Amino acid sequence: MKSLIDGYHRFREEGYGELAERLRALAEEQHPTKLLITCSDSRVLPDRIVSALPGDLFVIRNAGNIVPPIDECRNGDGGTLEYAVSVLKVRHIIVCGHSNCGAIKAMMHPEELEGLPMVRGWLAHAGLDTTPTRPEGARSLMRLSADELHAEELAEIDRLVERNVLTQLDHLRTHPYVAARLKRDELHLHGWVFDIPEGRIRAYDRGSGEFVEL
Ligand SMILES: [Zn+2]
C-alpha cells in the first residue's frame, strides 16, 4: 500500500495543480464523448495511452474487455454501457484489447480455469469459448516443439486478441440502444489492440479487414 499512498501524495504535490482548473470545471457534470472498453490488466493505462484528460473518456474495464451480447448481459457492465450510450450519448465506443491478454490465454487453456468458476463463467458468458478458431488453434499447437510452441502461441494469442475485439464489437451491436444510435449514425464503433512492450495501438481497418497501426 505504501507505493499507492506515496503516489497519492506525489499527485497532490505535482499532478493535481495542472488538472485543478479542469477538475473544478467538471465538478458538477461530465460530457465524455468516448467510451473505452478495455481489459483490467494492470499494464494497460487507458488515459495515458491516448493522453486523455479528466472528462475525456468514460471507461469500462473487465477481464478480456468483454461485452456480453444483450441476451446474456446481466452484470454491472451492461448498466454502465447503457448509461454511457443512452444518457451520456457517447459518439464513439472503442473496444481495446492488448497483447498477451490473460483472458485470451485462458481461452486457449481452459484447463487452467479449474477452481475459477467466476472466471470460467465470465468467459463463457461472453461466448468466447464458442469461437471456431480456438479449438483449431489449440489442436495445431499440439504438434509443435517447445520453442515453436511458444512462438506459435504468442502469434495465436495476438490473432485471438484481435478476433476477441471484433467479437465484442459484434456483441455491442446486439444492444438495442447501441444499434439504434448506430443506425442514426450518431455512434461509431472502433476496435483497437494495445501492444504492451511497444506501447503502440493497432486499429481495425474495415477496408482491409486488418489491424493496422493507428
Ligand atoms: Zn487482458
Compute the distance from residue 23 Cα to the ligand 1 centre, in Å: 30
Q: Based on the fold, state whether residues 110 and 201 are members of the same structural domain.
A: yes
**Is the per-residue pLDDT at 66 higher than 60?**
yes
Average pLDDT for the chain: 88
- What does the alpha-carbon distance between residue 164 and residue 137 come to, in Å, rounded to a whole number? 14
Structure confidence by residue, pLDDT tens digits, 107-129 = 778 788 888 887 887 877 655 54
- Give the Å distance between the CA of 61 and the centre of ligand 1: 10
Above 90 in pLDDT, residue 78? no
Could you tell me if 52 and 92 lie in one domain? yes
- If asked whether residues 52 and 3 sit together in one domain, one would say no
pLDDT at 133 over 60: no
Comparing C-alpha atoms, which of 177, 184, 186, 185 is closest to residue 83? 177
Question: In sequence order, what DSSP letters do the residues of 22-89 get, joined into one string?
Answer: HHHHTSS-----EEEEEE--TT--HHHHTT--TTTEEEEEETT-----GGG--SHHHHHHHIIIIIS-
Residue 105 Cα to ligand 1 midpoint, Å, equals: 9
Do 47 and 78 lie in one domain? The reply is yes
| Pair 116, 42 in one domain | yes
4 with 74, same domain: the answer is: no
Torsion sign over Cα 88, 90, 94, 95: positive
The Cα–Cα gap between 200 and 129 comes to 28
CB 148 within 8 Å of CB 141: no
Q: Which three cell numbers stand for residue 179?
A: 444499434
Average pLDDT over residues 205-213: 95
Q: Of the candidates 60, 56, 22, 31, which has an alpha carbon nearest to the alpha carbon of residue 44?
A: 60
210: left (phi over 0), alpha (psi -120 to 50) or beta: beta
Q: Domain total for the chain? A: 2
* Paired sense of beta strands 188-195 and 92-98, if any: parallel
Domain shared by 65 and 87, yes or no: yes
Q: β-strand 210-213 against 200-205: which pairing, if any?
A: antiparallel
CA of 199 from ligand 1 middle (Å) equals 15
Instruction: Give me the domain span that covers residue 160.
Output: 31-213
Q: Is 152 in the same domain as 55?
A: yes
CATH number at residue 136: 3.40.1050.10
Ligand 1 center to 143 CA (angstroms)? 27
Residue 12 shares a structural domain with residue 99:
no
Same domain? 169 vs 143: yes
Do 15 and 60 reside in the same domain of the chain? no
In this predicted structure, which of 83-97, 120-134, 167-181, 186-200 has the lowest mean pLDDT? Answer: 120-134
Question: Which of the four pLDDT bands, split at 50, 70 and 90, describes residue 89?
Answer: very high
Higher pLDDT, 4 or 131: 4
